[in-house]
């Protein structure tokens, strides 16, 4: 029996071709054979939108395949984002912040369906193939200076958490502060337009060797590690709503450069990594809690800022990035601690940074000197 959707399309499209597209997940009916272009709506098709990139069909129909069911349900409005079409589906799990069904890794050999490497992340969420993806290389010659008023500032940088939840989420070590008396740590000003953004959690990216590991490349260099402090727009009230909404997130990226001396400084988180060596393990620390200032050392720093995305699926393009321009030191032993963590396959996490993302659009990177 021909599914209804195919019938509808056969009626609607004069140029329709029905091809079978074989993947490890099974065979899909490819319902169009368009090349690398975007196709808009038409009256006869009830505003269906097709999107295809690099000759890989982005919309298919497959019975019982949850993540690709947008053709026929009109309450799931399509949207136009950054000159790119996406099908948005309110009920579709692929638009939630973390897809439970599809796992991602940093290994390009993982081409699904159990787990997807970076060039296949778009199969988890199409936004991963968008035009405002992160990370990027920040070339100092392509930046323009700007003076934001008011300047970027922190609230609560010295509040000591009453406890800290430490998680190995299979991709990184993630820490969430539990602050006393329902307080929040907030970042305000700068490019954030006077809207307070509230700290949700933070995590790190690192590499197999000490000279590589940051996600953003600065002045042609990939640094040793990058800390991501994820803040959400307070206007949305909670992280989950903000994470899928416009201007929902701000991520402060702190770059680290390996330095065996470190001027005597020890990163306060290094001694707790061993608590969560296995993927999906969690530990709550009550004794050795540190403040945001202990973590980033200063709130007076020069930074680069641009509009981009989360660097893990679902790659949501609603992130104001703030990247410190002067990396802070990290010891080789601290980097070795990171590499002791294990991913969901039980392998050591040697490399958890996303490849650089390029866009056909001009991306403005601004620098601000505090």
Q: Which residues are catalytic?
A: 171
Q: To the nearest whole angstrom, how small is the minimum distance from the Cβ of residue 255 to Zn ion?
A: 12
Stretch touching Zn ion by CB under 5 A, among 128-136, 148-156, 225-233, 272-280: 225-233
Binding mask 281-320 for Zn ion (x = CB under 5 A): ----------------------------------------
Residue 103 in contact with Zn ion, rule: CB under 5 A:
no
| Nearest-approach distance from CB 332 to Zn ion, in angstroms | 22
In the bound state with Zn ion, the residue whose beta carbon lies nearer, of 78 and 214, is 214
In the complex with Zn ion, the residue whose CB is nearer, 60 or 353, is 353
Radius of gyration of the chain (CA): 22
Place of tokens 């004794």: 287
Cβ proximity to Zn ion, 228 vs 342, nearer residue: 228
Kindly state whether residue 228 participates in binding Zn ion, applying the rule CB under 5 A.
yes
Considering only residues 60 through 79, tell me which ones interact with Zn ion, judged by CB under 5 A.
none
Chain positions 343 to 362 lying near Zn ion, rule: CB under 5 A, are none
Which range, of 67-75, 206-214, 222-230, 277-285, touches Zn ion by CB under 5 A? 222-230
CB of 228 to Zn ion, least distance (A): 4
49 or 341: CB nearest Zn ion: 341
Applying CB under 5 A, the span of 42-50, 108-116, 220-228, 344-352 interacting with Zn ion comes to 220-228
What's the rounded Cα separation, in Å, for the pair 368 and 216?
Answer: 17
By CB under 5 A, residue 174 contacts Zn ion: no
User: Measured from the CB atom, is 31 or 249 closer to Zn ion?
Assistant: 249
Closest CA to 221 of 254, 255, 251: 255
**Minimum distance of Zn ion from residue 169's CB (angstroms):** 11
Q: What is the size of the binding site for Zn ion (CB under 5 A)?
A: 1
Provide the minimum distance between the beta carbon of 311 and Zn ion in the complex, in angstroms, as a whole number.
5
Name which of 70 and 135 has its Cβ closer to Zn ion: 135
d(CA 232, CA 198): 5
Interface region with Zn ion, contact rule CB under 5 A, candidates 23-31, 69-77, 226-234, 345-353: 226-234
Of all residues in the shown chain, the one whose CB is closest to Zn ion is: 228
Best CA proximity match to 34, nearest among 47, 50, 11: 50
Residue span binding Zn ion (CB under 5 A) among the ranges 64-72, 224-232, 287-295, 331-339: 224-232
CA distances from 153 to 108, 190, 277, 320 (A): 39, 8, 34, 15
Range 122-143 burial, b when 16+ CB lie within 10 A, else e: bbbbbbbbbbbbbbbbbeeeeb
Burial class of residue 369, CB neighbours in 10 A (0-12, 13-18, 19+):
exposed
CB 346 → Zn ion: shortest distance, Å?
Answer: 22
Shortest Å distance, C-beta 202 to Zn ion: 9
Give whichever of 126 and 228 is closer to Zn ion, judged by the CB atom. 228
Binding site for Zn ion (CB under 5 A): 228
């Amino acid at each position: 029996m021909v599914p209804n959707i195919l019938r509808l399309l056969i009626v609607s499209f004069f140029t329709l071709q029905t091809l079978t597209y074989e993947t490890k997940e099974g065979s899909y009916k490819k319902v169009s054979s368009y090349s690398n272009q975007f196709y808009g709506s038409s009256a006869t098709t009830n505003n269906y939108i097709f999107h295809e990139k690099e000759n890989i069909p982005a919309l298919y129909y497959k019975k019982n395949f949850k993540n690709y069911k947008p053709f026929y349900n009109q309450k799931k409005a399509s949207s136009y984002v950054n000159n790119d079409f996406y099908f948005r589906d309110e009920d579709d799990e692929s638009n939630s912040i973390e897809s439970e069904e599809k796992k991602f890794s940093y290994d390009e050999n993982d081409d699904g369906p159990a787990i997807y490497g970076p060039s296949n992340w778009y199969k988890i969420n199409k936004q991963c193939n968008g035009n405002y993806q992160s990370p990027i290389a920040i070339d100092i010659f392509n930046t323009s200076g700007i003076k934001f008023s008011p300047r970027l500032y922190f609230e609560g940088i010295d509040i000591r958490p009453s406890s800290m939840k430490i998680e190995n989420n299979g991709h990184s070590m993630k820490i969430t502060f539990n602050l006393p008396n329902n307080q929040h740590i907030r970042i305000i000003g700068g490019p954030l337009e006077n809207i307070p953004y509230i700290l949700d959690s933070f995590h790190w990216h690192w590499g197999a060797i000490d000279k590589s590991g940051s996600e953003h490349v600065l002045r042609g260099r990939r640094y040793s590690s990058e800390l991501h402090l994820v803040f959400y727009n307070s206007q949305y009230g909670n992280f989950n709503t903000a994470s899928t909404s416009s201007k929902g997130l701000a991520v402060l990226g702190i770059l680290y450069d390996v330095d065996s001396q470190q001027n005597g400084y020890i990163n306060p988180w290094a001694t707790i990594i061993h608590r969560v060596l296995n993927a999906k393990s969690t530990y709550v620390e009550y004794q050795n809690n540190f403040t945001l200032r202990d973590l980033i050392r200063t709130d007076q720093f020069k930074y680069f800022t641009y509009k981009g995305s989360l660097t893990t699926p679902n790659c949501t393009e609603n992130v104001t990035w703030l990247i410190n321009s002067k990396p802070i030191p990290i010891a080789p032993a601290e980097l070795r601690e990171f590499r002791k963590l294990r991913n969901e396959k039980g392998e050591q996490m040697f490399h958890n940074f996303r490849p650089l993302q390029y866009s056909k659009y001009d991306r403005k990177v601004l620098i601000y000197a505090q």
